Amino acid sequence: MDGVRVGKRVIGAESPVTVGWENLPRVEGGPLKQFVFTWFQPTVLFALLAFWYYAPNSIAKASTAIGIGIGFKVLLLTMEWFFPRHESWRLTWKELTTDLFFVGLGYTILRTVDVYIGDGAMIAAIQKAFDWDKFNWFTGLPLLVQAFMISFIFDFGQYWMHRGMHNWYPLWLTHAPHHFITQLNINKGAVGNPVELFLIGLGIGGFFDFLPRAALLAGTFGMAVSTYQHINVRFNTPRWWRFIFNTTEHHSLHHSLDYEATRSNYSGTWIFIDRIFGTCVDGEAELLGMEGGRRMSIREQMHYPFSEAWKTLKEKFGRPVTAVPAE
């Protein structure tokens, strides 16, 4: 495999990838299907932004956002079932059950941990100590600007945390299990070691809960853009969208079996952060995973960072095994 030169790197030398938007397949079918799969993503995004902008205070609440989020995921799962991007990524009972287990951890035990020792606790402490007068310049900005800034700052932090995970071994150990997924489906974003899910969840998101409407608008970018990172549906994503936002194409490259391809597209929502720092590669991959595409069991996902760290430490500091010559 020759791969494709992208800047100083060669992408796709180890596993097939497609580089360049002009080389990607488009949605096949009649004009109605083409229309729906071209305009679905922008329509949902703008409809949700309008909803949160104008919704009365009694409706603009986190509980409504959770309800919409769950309904949206069910809709996307249905789309995956009827319009799969790749047959090889089709959701099976085992995949769905595994994905939901990790989603369940995120909604239960990890949330509890977060409240006591994660960003929930930190944010509560900061909010208490903060002088809010210094924040008036921000709260006086137009709502959509506030929302963009909240979303962008959060994603900027996530970009560097994610890039750090790919470049610093201790952090990589926590992130590696997520890269053993061999297909993309709506809930695959939740699959990974809980330590990573905890680290990636550390952010400033909850910091803005005193600005409910701006926070909900910011969350819309997460829901109506980031969710598509792990989806088995093909869209004719508009050119401006894929220039600004992360897409399933970008993220499939990030999950490719090809090592160089995985070192790209780190942002969660705003792919232009990758463009700024030179880590964006436009393209897609179907063959995903690590170590030849072996699927990691839930048990190994749980202990991998610790067992691998132990192995590495033993190799580095352990007593070398010397062979005793036979007499």
Q: CB atoms < 10 A from the CB of 319, how many?
A: 6
The answer to whether the CB of 20 falls within 8 A of the CB of 283 is: yes
Is 8 one of the binding residues for another protein (CB under 8 A)?
no
> Is there binding between residue 276 and another protein (CB under 8 A)?
no
Binding segment for another protein (CB under 8 A), chosen from 96-104, 228-236, 261-269, 276-284, is 96-104
CB of 279 vs another protein, minimal distance in Å: 27
The structure tokens 């436009």 sit at: 282
Instruction: Could you list the beta-strand ranges (E) of the chain.
Output: 4-6, 9-11, 18-19, 283-284
Nearest to 198 by CA among 132, 142, 133, 117: 117
Binding flag, residue 57, another protein (CB under 8 A): yes
CB 261, min distance to another protein, A: 19
Question: Is residue 47 near another protein by the rule CB under 8 A?
Answer: no
Among 23, 43, 78, 88, binds another protein (CB under 8 A): 88
Fill in the amino acid letter for 189: G
Could you tell me which residues are beta bridge partners of residue 5? 10
Question: Burial code of 20-52, b = ≥16 C-beta within 10 A, e = fewer?
Answer: eeeebeebeeeeeeeebbbebbeebbeebbebb
Distance between CA atoms of residues 38 and 190, nearest Å: 27
* Residues binding another protein: number (CB under 8 A): 49
From the centroid of its chain, how far is CA 215? 19
Min dist CB 136 to another protein, Å, is 6
Cβ closest to another protein, residue 14 vs residue 272: 14
Residues 258, 276: Cα–Cα separation, whole Å = 23
Q: 7 vs 56, which CB is nearer to another protein?
A: 56
Whichever of 75 and 115 has its CB closer to another protein, that residue is: 115
Compute the distance between CA of residue 181 and CA of residue 210 in angstroms, rounded to an integer: 37
Q: Using CB under 8 A, which residues numbered 157 to 176 contact another protein? A: none
289 neighbors 259 (Cβ within 8 angstroms): no
Residue with Cβ nearer another protein (158 or 182): 182
The answer to the question of residue 296 lying near another protein (CB under 8 A) is yes
Residue 240, interface with another protein (CB under 8 A)?
no
Selected range binding another protein among 127-135, 156-164, 263-271, 313-321, rule: CB under 8 A: 127-135
Site string for another protein, 181-210 (x = CB under 8 A): xxx--------------------------x
CB-based contact 247:283 (threshold 8 Å): no
> Residue 187 or residue 264: which is nearer to another protein going by CB?
187
Our finding on whether 97 is near another protein (CB under 8 A) is: yes
129 binds another protein (CB under 8 A): no
The strand pair at 9-11 and 18-19 is best described as unpaired
Strand runs labelled E in 161-306: 283-284
**Does the footprint of another protein cover residue 54 (CB under 8 A)?**
yes
> Contact positions toward another protein, by CB under 8 A?
53-57, 60, 88, 92-98, 100-101, 104, 107-109, 111-112, 115-116, 120, 124, 128, 132-133, 136, 139-143, 181-183, 210, 212-213, 292-298, 300
